[in-house]
A = this chain, B = another copy of it.
Amino acid sequence: MQCAYDGATTVQEVAVEIIEVGPRDGLQNEQVLVSTEDKIELISRSIDAGLRRIEATSFVHPQRVPQMADAEAVMAGVPRRADVSYIGLVLNRRGFDRALAAGVDEVNCVVVASETFSRRNQGMSVADSVQVVGDLAEESRAAGLGLSVTLATAFGCPFEGEVPETTVVELARQVHAFGVDEIALADTIGVGVPAQVSRLAGGVAAAAPGAVLRCHFHNTRNTGYANAVAALDAGVTVLDASTGGIGGCPFAPDATGNIATEDLVYLLDRSGVGTGVDLERLIGTARWLSGVLGETVPGQLARAGGFPAYSA
């Protein structure tokens, strides 16, 4: 367990692990093509703020996601530290081989919980994507890489609407049977609500005993932070967030940004939940990102600042 100064008066145990997904999920849907140098700076700034797991890039076809075409160059330029783990998103064996060669510490695979979105997002059926996970689980063990699986559209699909919770739970059971130790429930289009988070997290915990539960929320309908709180209450210990709240998904209509790392850390800090992350540095990075992207980021802390200092 790490310890972290909470900015006030006590030393807090790190109770929640935050994965910074801004360099991948965050930037992926931004219109501005961000330079490799700025991506590496975003990653370095995230590490300086105390984040220790970074979704650095994705190894997908560059024509499908042009923003990620420089995946190898990003990985070649990031600072290498024993206490930092870089995650690369992969959808198939070709991506896995690229990620391995580029020197990631972990790979993240995606299984979509609805057929239509699966075919649009990764060009294969749900069953085929589960099989990919099965194959890559063995490969990653052999290569000494961490492996996590994200269950996408777990709270609803832009094309099919409601996604049965039993479907999500069954997919969790299947990937866990391959030895996957971290399973992420992703609200890809930001439709989830806290009661749903509690039910799904409970269902997955029962179907995948011993798995580390992780959640990935978008704030598209202003439920993202309430969902994060519900997830922690339900036993989830890892949360994805992107500094500035940037991002979305080019294949999910109307999807807007992830929950913002700095807004999440503000909420957790003031709730006495340790994150090991420095809020002021995050706010600085969010403001820097606004400059890089040429627009105000959706996260609110970049504008409002943290808790007001006593000025009387």
B residues in contact with A301, CB < 8 Å: 221-222
Mostly helix, strand, loop or mixed at chain A's interface?
loop
Interface flags, A237-256, vs B, CB<8A=1, else 0: 00000000000000000101
Q: A194-B229, A229-B230, A270-B196 are in contact. Are A308 and B221 (CB under 8 A)?
A: no
CB interface residues, A 213-244, toward B, < 8 Å: 219-226, 228-230
The stretch among A68-76, A81-89, A135-143, A158-166 that forms the contact with chain B is: A158-166
B residues in contact with A157, CB < 8 Å: 308
- In whole angstroms, how far apart are the Cα atoms of A133 and B120 in the complex? 61
A156 within 8 A of B: yes
B residues in contact with A308, CB < 8 Å: 156-159, 161, 189, 191
Tell me whether A305 and B194 are in contact (CB under 8 A): no
A296 within 8 A of B: no
B residues in contact with A263, CB < 8 Å: 221-223
Tell me whether A223 and B266 are in contact (CB under 8 A): yes
A267 within 8 A of B: yes
B residues in contact with A160, CB < 8 Å: 310, 312
- In whole angstroms, how far apart are the Cα atoms of A224 and B219 in the complex? 13
Closest residue of B by beta carbon distance from A196: B270
A304 within 8 A of B: yes
- In whole angstroms, how far apart are the Cα atoms of A263 and B221 in the complex? 6
**CB-contact partner of A225 in B226, B256, B300, under 8 A:** B226
Tell me whether A307 and B161 are in contact (CB under 8 A): yes
A36 within 8 A of B: no
Tell me whether B304 and A254 are in contact (CB under 8 A): yes
**CB-contact partner of A221 in B219, B224, B304, under 8 A:** B304
Tell me whether A222 and B219 are in contact (CB under 8 A): yes
Tell me whether B161 and A310 are in contact (CB under 8 A): yes
- In whole angstroms, how far apart are the Cα atoms of A189 and B300 in the complex? 13
**Smallest Cβ distance from A175 to chain B, in angstroms?**
25
B residues in contact with A190, CB < 8 Å: 304
Tell me whether A221 and B191 are in contact (CB under 8 A): no
Tell me whether B219 and A300 are in contact (CB under 8 A): yes
Interface flags, A164-199, vs B, CB<8A=1, else 0: 000000000000000000000000011111111000
Closest residue of B by beta carbon distance from A255: B304
Closest residue of B by beta carbon distance from A192: B270
**Smallest Cβ distance from A291 to chain B, in angstroms?**
20
- In whole angstroms, how far apart are the Cα atoms of A192 and B158 in the complex? 33
**Smallest Cβ distance from A193 to chain B, in angstroms?**
4
Interface pairs A-B: 6 shortest CB-CB: A161-B310, A195-B271, A226-B226, A222-B263, A193-B270, A222-B300
| A116-B312, A194-B271, A223-B263 given; 7 more Cβ-contact pairs under 8 Å | A161-B311, A162-B307, A193-B266, A196-B270, A223-B225, A229-B229, A254-B305
26 contacts across the A-B interface (CB closer than 8 A): A116-B312, A160-B310, A160-B312, A161-B307, A161-B309, A161-B311, A162-B307, A162-B310, A190-B304, A191-B270, A194-B267, A195-B270, A195-B271, A219-B222, A220-B300, A221-B263, A221-B266, A221-B300, A221-B304, A222-B260, A222-B301, A223-B225, A223-B266, A226-B226, A254-B303, A256-B304
